Chains A and B, each alone.
Chain A
Amino acid sequence: MPETEVKATISKSTGLPRKRFYRARAHSNPLSDSHFPVPISPSQFDYSLHYPQIFPSSDQADGSRKIQFADIGCGFGGLLISLSTLFPETLMIGMELRDKVTEYVKERILSLRVANPGQYQNVSVVRTNSMKYIPNYFEKAQLTKMFFLFPDPHFKEKNHRRRVISPFLLDEYAYVLKAELEADPVVKLLSSATEEGQKVARNGGQTFQAVFRRIVPSDKTS
């Protein structure tokens, strides 16, 4: 029998992964060529891999239930975890570019699923470059909410092309979003559930929120 491990990446007391073994640099280059697998089209996205309890076999994705919330740049998964219990009937996914951080979120979700049977089955994470590949994951007008918490401002002109929110990328986000409006219980979570929001609260800083909705274009010809 092996000796007890010196470095246990999963904490024995809570069953959750320990952040210090999943530390990564804050930035990962979004411009570089990616070699992680990307679904060829939204219909090829394997729901049974991410939501095994809801879609037990891979041929059962009949299109009735689709992902509705997407957290772009989900980081360590704070918001996703809170949203999961708040909206238990909605499928949601987090997209993150850094591999170590994605591993952490995966472990976190798996441990939570084990510790709370029946809960956290509607949330998952995928390692991907959302600036390039969002159309590969979502069909037109599939999402009802998208979260960007919190985009790096990239003040320097030479880095403007790395911004997650830009006029060109907004076209793609508008494509995957449904045009809808409802009063939203999520807004207060923005500052309380995300790791960044909690950090700002700890340091006593100010928070500013920006919420947008997708509008129907005025000159629609079709």
Chain B
Amino acid sequence: MEEAEAEAEVESNRDNVEVAPALIAVHPEQISVAVAVGPDLRVFDLLAGSAASLVDECGAPFHKDPIRAIRFGSRGKLFVSAGDDKTVKIWSTESWRCVCTVSSEKRVSAVAISEDGCHVCFADKFGVVWVVDVAGSHGHVTLGDRKPTPLLSHYCSIIPSLEFSPDGRFILSADRDSKIRVTNFPKKPLNGAHEIQSFCLGHTEFVSCLAFVHARECPQGLLVSGSGDSTVRLWDISSGALLDTCEVAAKAGLLESNGEAEEHGHAVTDLCTTISGLLIAVAIQSLQGIVLLSCDVSAQTLSVSKVVSIAGEAFVPTCLGFSPAEGKLWMVTGVSSLPACNYPPLARVRVISAIDAEQEPVVLGDDEIPGGEKLLETLQGSASVDESAFLAAAEAVKTAMRNLLIKKQYPADNRESRKKTRNDRKLKM
């Protein structure tokens, strides 16, 4: 009987393979907004007020499998998308042409663009971070196909997040074994990044997201990381020292009143730092809304500033993006496909404005967001979305993340039956 149950679980796990959360990225000057749902990449040009048409030499569809990571470069010239189809596509944001396609050996889990826009790094599911030289790509110049070179590696551990430090000196990679590695980014990255600056150790579960708090007093930035252990931590990257820990799930009131938390239920899914007021927006699984944390740079502490909930909708954000130009936080929720249902890929975009220590954040209505109805139609696929699917979508994303990143516990009782296929056991019979 137990075997049948275990088999049923394996079946449902296989269905969850294709479930990928919807992603959003905002151009640093809020010129455009991009949403990726499953294999679809949708871009809306806010200046032109219409959807941007993406041009790719290889022909449509651009990505064949769900996209797992998208990013704008900090200078706004480049955009990268990568996913389960083992390709990384680098786009120019001026012409929305794919200037470079890089193929990877394994599925890609995270991407990052260096501060000077000359290198694109991506991490695959086995823990290797690759680098590609993209200097000289802008506008209409196409680089064609490039081969990546390995930069560094976490041993056999999925890397959900990759970041460059604001001064461009370091590249940070976070992995499933709760480690954050800070490596010096060399002048010639194609030879590999061998000099490790420090390890930021302190999380007890997979580290899912990294972001930097920009502060005048601290030019290299303070690192903030979110993890499956429901905490957000503040670090000094040159020494790897843990400065502060914030139990966001507890503070946001997600835990039961008797203190027992649902196991692995409240992982931090995304983090986004805002320029003004040093606020950090945090998205947590099962929380319908976001938590705003404030960071005190001199005291090096984190504290919960506000909990913003989205009224009227069961909106659990899967990805966050911030546009510093207008101080707006963009959120998206959605999933590439729902198992056992025939729903098309879902996405829903909401915006919060007035992200400031002094003002009260305001959740904007559909007609108030920049780009209005047209933006929603482009990015969501339709202006209005069936709300009943959202809770199911949030659950599906949560299960997929758990299966991917939480270490599997094998029950001890059926260990002998699991060993039946081993070669040395077979000979004994």
Contacts and interface: CB of A to CB of B under 8 A. Distances in A.
A217 B194 contact: yes
Contact of A168 (B153, B199, B409): B153
Contact of B195 (A34, A132, A135, A217): A217
Given A25-B424, A167-B192, A41 B409 contact: no
Contacts of B169: 221
Interface string B313-339: 000000000000000000000000000
B60 to A, nearest CB: 35
Interface in A130-161: 131-133, 135-136, 140, 161
A187 interface: no
Contacts of A126: none
A160 to B, nearest CB: 12
Contact of B199 (A33, A135, A217, A219): A135
B204 interface: yes
What's the interface size class on B, roughly?
A: 20 to 34
Interface string A156-173: 000001000001111110
B201 A135 contact: yes
A219 B409 contact: no
A41 B128 contact: no
A131 B194 CA distance: 16
B150 interface: yes
A175 B407 CA distance: 27
B152 A219 contact: no
B196 A33 contact: no
Contact of B152 (A40, A132, A168): A168
Interface stretch (B135-143, B179-187, B298-306): B179-187
Contacts, number: 65
B407 A35 contact: yes
B202 interface: yes
Contacts of A174: 194-196
Contact of B407 (A33, A40, A167): A33
A170 to B, nearest CB: 8
Query: Chain B CB within 10 Å — which of A30, A131, A221 has the most?
Result: A221
Contacts of B96: none
A42 to B, nearest CB: 8
A161 B177 contact: no
A31 interface: yes
A172 B177 contact: no
Given A40-B201, A135-B179, A135-B201, A175 B155 contact: no
B199 to A, nearest CB: 4
A190 to B, nearest CB: 25
A30 B178 CA distance: 17
B198 interface: yes
Given A132-B155, A161-B156, A168 B196 contact: no
Nearest to B242: A41
B213 to A, nearest CB: 22
A161 B124 CA distance: 14
B245 to A, nearest CB: 12
B152 A171 contact: yes
Given A33-B407, A40-B202, A161-B126, A133 B194 contact: no
Interface string B394-429: 000000000000011100000000000000100000
A140 to B, nearest CB: 7
B195 A168 contact: no
A168 B150 contact: yes
Query: Chain B CB within 10 Å — which of A34, A41, A136, A169 has the most?
Result: A41
B131 to A, nearest CB: 13
Interface string A171-185: 110110000000000
Contacts of B178: 40
Contacts of B157: 132
B186 to A, nearest CB: 7
B402 to A, nearest CB: 14
Contacts of A34: 407
A31 B157 CA distance: 9
Interface string B185-214: 011000011111011011110000000000
A168 B155 contact: yes
Interface string A7-41: 00000000000000000010000110111000011
A179 to B, nearest CB: 12
Given A40-B204, A136-B201, A219-B187, A33 B155 contact: no
6 contacts: A35-B409, A41-B202, A136-B179, A140-B240, A161-B126, A168-B153
Given A131-B155, A168-B152, 11 more contacts: A30-B155, A40-B204, A42-B201, A131-B156, A132-B157, A133-B177, A135-B181, A161-B126, A171-B193, A175-B199, A220-B195
Interface of B: 126, 128, 150, 152-153, 155-157, 169, 177-179, 181, 183-184, 186-187, 192-196, 198-199, 201-204, 240, 242, 407-409, 424
The 9 closest A-B pairs by CB, nearest first: A168-B153, A41-B201, A33-B407, A175-B196, A135-B199, A131-B155, A171-B194, A31-B156, A132-B155
Interface of A: 25, 30-31, 33-35, 40-42, 131-133, 135-136, 140, 161, 167-172, 174-175, 217, 219-221
